[in-house]
Chains A and B, each alone.
Chain A
Amino acid sequence: MTASVTTAGNEPEAAAPDGPAKKIEGRSLGQIAWTRFKRDKAAVAGGVVVILLILLAVLAKPIESLFGLDPDALHQDLLDANLGGLPLGDWGGMSLDHPLGVDPLQGRDLLTRVIEGSWVSLLVAFGATLLSNTIGTVLGIMAGYYGGWVDTLISRVMDVFLAFPLLLFAIAISTSLQGGAFGLHGLPLHMMVLIFVIGFFNWPYMGRIVRGQTLSLREREFVHAARSLGARGPFILFKELLPNLVGPILVYSTLLIPTNILFEAGLSFLGVGIQPPQASWGGMLQDAIRYYQVDPQYMVVPGLAIFITVLAFNLLGDGLRDALDPKSN
């Protein structure tokens, strides 16, 4: 696990005899991974898109107020009353003012709604990933390290969770809490419920991964050394084992986020996630499917937004995995 064997692949093997001698330096695992990651063009592209998307989501509200955009503004003048409220013009009413067109019946600007939907989708996906990975990591590391009855108990609980029909539960829970619960109403409530439902039922996947990794880590010399120096459970768990688990946790978080984005979109598509008129990608698709025969362009806009986002996260996650886990390549 020392860095001595690595030379970056693209560099010449040895410096020319009369050139300046190449300095030999040690590199940390992180530096090696970074060099490897930089060489993977698809992953870098995914990473750039992810950063842009996060910026878009964070700045969605300021952008809207800066340009005076309102995701819920109606533009009846852009609709054709004779055709039952379909957008005027080709391609779903695309124009300079409305580059992605407007939606049928209400004439709301689709670009603004996609921007508005970005922060909802990403916040729910990040929140749910954080929740499930926190539970999964803590329980997984405990099951792996302590073994015995702790392991048996946690593993059985994971089995029970995996036997639940997740989507069904998610729908049932979000429906019954729709009216208001825990003193929350409207959008904050819907987002909290989504984060909870998606995050709380997804943790066993992370738990299994962390448990497996911990099982092999706990027999390593540095853990024995820490234990013989008198370190106790919590110290070993969080100061010795956890730092070595950062790689897999990071990779699977990056790969869980797109799954959660799809999940949130699916729930909103079924009408139990984010409720209209609040713009969300899944909600827009649910609306668009009704017009698939007469205004198919509408469906493509939120569909592409979801596709690009999920693809970017998947590319980044794949790249991170290849960079952090030399065995995978």
Chain B
Amino acid sequence: MFAYIIRRIFAAVILLLVVSAVTFAIFFLLPRFAGETADQLAAQYIGKNPSPEAIAAVKQNLGLDQPLYAQYWNFLKGLVSGAEYKFGPEPATCHVPCFGYSFKNHLEVWPELSKRIPITVSLAAGAAVLWLVSGVATGVVSALKPRSIFDRISMGVALAGVSLPVFFTGALLLTLFSYEWPILDNLQYVDFTDNPLMWARNLILPWISLAFLYSALYARLTRAGMLETMSEDYIRTARAKGLVERKVVTRHGLRAALTPIVTIFGMDLGLLLGGALITEQVFSLQGVGQFAVQAISDNDLPKILGVTLLAAFFIVACNLVVDLLYALVDPRVRLS
């Protein structure tokens, strides 16, 4: 078990390194695809009519003239030991973990970025609880009585749910509950530690619009999985030996049917934690996703790189947790 955990963590770290290297390479190469030279990249930090000497100085200080691998190595070094940039009259220090330094507004990326994390975590976690409970419950009840009225209606709603874009449901909810009937007007993020009630009140609409999409997806998946496991031989055996139906469903059926759901849940949650871009945009939540959108529209490369890496970290971390949970409950996993 211990060896398995070490192996998985090691693999996850390697994966993160590869992802960060590829991300770095893509953002290194993209401006060049679009026809920008290192000179032009440096010039955007200086202002109007830059002199060639100023450009050369910026290029050297920021390392823009170095080859790709050297720039990547400096970036990795910055993550663990911080970095200093000779830029302007005062040298800029970038503290550990140095996710980069935005020269556009002279700020370190990490403090700016980490401020946004609680908002996105609140959004993703609340929605996740909602959709797991409602989605899995609907799927199980549907699968136990296939072709019943409940099954037909809930699967119809679920099909509609996966077919609606989240920005449409979000905007519709806003129109209805925040404007037409202003039950939930004046929505803005309140920190959980400040006022848990306001925190929940102001996040309920984003939660619902995200959860509607995902619970539809999970209901369909759970139903399909349950239908398959409930026709397995071991379920018949469990019934034959006289087990109560409730235990057959929960201990034998649901437990097996949940395995693929948990995998997908890890991926979905990881993706959302890296920024629920569209939902944050619709509800003007200043989370990681809005940070990314802002950074991209400002063409602020260090910020884009930082937020991409954070998002990749969440995805890899969530998958790792799911893998380790599997190993805990299912002995076959850690033996293979």
Please list the residues of chain A having a beta carbon within 8 angstroms of any beta carbon in chain B.
159-160, 162-169, 171-173, 175-177, 179-182, 258, 262, 265-266, 269-272, 282, 285, 288-289, 292-293, 296, 299, 303, 306-307, 310-311, 314-315, 318, 327-328
Contact = CB atoms under 8 A, between A and B. Distances in A.
Given A258-B163, A270-B293, A163 B315 contact: yes
Contact of B271 (A165, A182, A315): A165
Contacts of B267: 162
22 contacts: A163-B15, A164-B315, A165-B311, A167-B278, A168-B307, A168-B311, A169-B26, A171-B293, A171-B296, A172-B30, A172-B296, A176-B34, A177-B30, A258-B163, A282-B165, A293-B175, A296-B175, A303-B164, A307-B165, A310-B162, A314-B159, A318-B159
A181 B33 contact: yes
A169 B25 CA distance: 13
A163 B175 CA distance: 35
Nearest 5 pairs of A and B residues by beta carbon: A165-B311, A311-B163, A310-B163, A303-B168, A176-B30
B315 A165 contact: yes
Contacts of B22: 160, 164
Interface of B: 15-16, 18-19, 22-23, 26-27, 30-31, 33-35, 159-160, 162-168, 171-172, 174-175, 179, 224, 228, 267, 271, 274-275, 277-278, 281-282, 292-293, 296-297, 299, 304, 307-308, 311-312, 315-316, 319
Given A175-B296, A258-B163, A306-B168, A168 B275 contact: yes
A186 to B, nearest CB: 15
Contact of B308 (A165, A182, A266, A328): A165
A315 B267 CA distance: 25
A175 B299 CA distance: 8
A28 to B, nearest CB: 26
A163 B316 contact: yes
Given A165-B271, A270-B293, A310-B163, A292 B27 contact: no
Contacts of A181: 33-35
B308 A168 contact: yes
A266 B278 contact: yes
Given A311-B163, A328-B224, A164 B175 contact: no
Nearest to B19: A163
B160 A311 contact: yes
B249 to A, nearest CB: 21
B164 A307 contact: yes
A306 B35 CA distance: 36
A168 B281 contact: no
Classify the interface of chain B: helix, strand, loop or mixed. Answer: helix
Given A164-B22, A167-B275, 12 more contacts: A160-B19, A164-B19, A172-B296, A173-B26, A180-B35, A181-B33, A270-B281, A285-B168, A299-B172, A303-B172, A306-B164, A306-B165
Contact of A160 (B18, B26, B163, B277): B18
Contacts of B165: 262, 265-266, 269, 282, 285, 303, 306-307, 310
Contacts of A167: 271, 275, 277-278
A94 B292 CA distance: 38
A47 B207 CA distance: 33
Contacts of A172: 27, 30, 296, 304, 308
Contacts of A266: 165-167, 278
Nearest to B227: A328
Contacts of B166: 266
A307 B164 CA distance: 5
Contacts of B304: 172
Classify the interface of chain A: helix, strand, loop or mixed. Answer: helix
A179 B34 contact: yes
A310 B307 CA distance: 31
A292 B277 contact: no
A99 B197 CA distance: 45
A68 to B, nearest CB: 31
B143 to A, nearest CB: 13
Nearest to B311: A165
Contacts of A299: 168, 171-172, 175
Contacts of B162: 310, 314
Most chain A C-beta atoms within 10 Å of own C-beta, residue among B23, B228, B296, B315: B296
B171 A171 contact: no
A303 B167 CA distance: 9
Most chain B C-beta atoms within 10 Å of own C-beta, residue among A160, A166, A176: A176
Nearest to B11: A159
Contacts of B228: 327
Given A164-B312, A168-B307, A292-B179, A269 B167 contact: yes
Contacts of A160: 15, 18-19, 22
B30 A180 contact: no
A314 B174 contact: no
A310 B34 CA distance: 34
Given A160-B18, A163-B315, A177 B33 contact: yes
Contacts of A288: 171
Nearest to A157: B18
Contacts of A173: 26, 30
A266 B293 CA distance: 13
A272 B319 CA distance: 29
Most chain A C-beta atoms within 10 Å of own C-beta, residue among B15, B167, B277, B297: B167
Nearest to A313: B163
A153 to B, nearest CB: 13
Nearest to B168: A303
Most chain B C-beta atoms within 10 Å of own C-beta, residue among A165, A272, A314: A165
A277 to B, nearest CB: 20
A322 B300 CA distance: 48
A280 B308 CA distance: 27
A176 B34 CA distance: 7
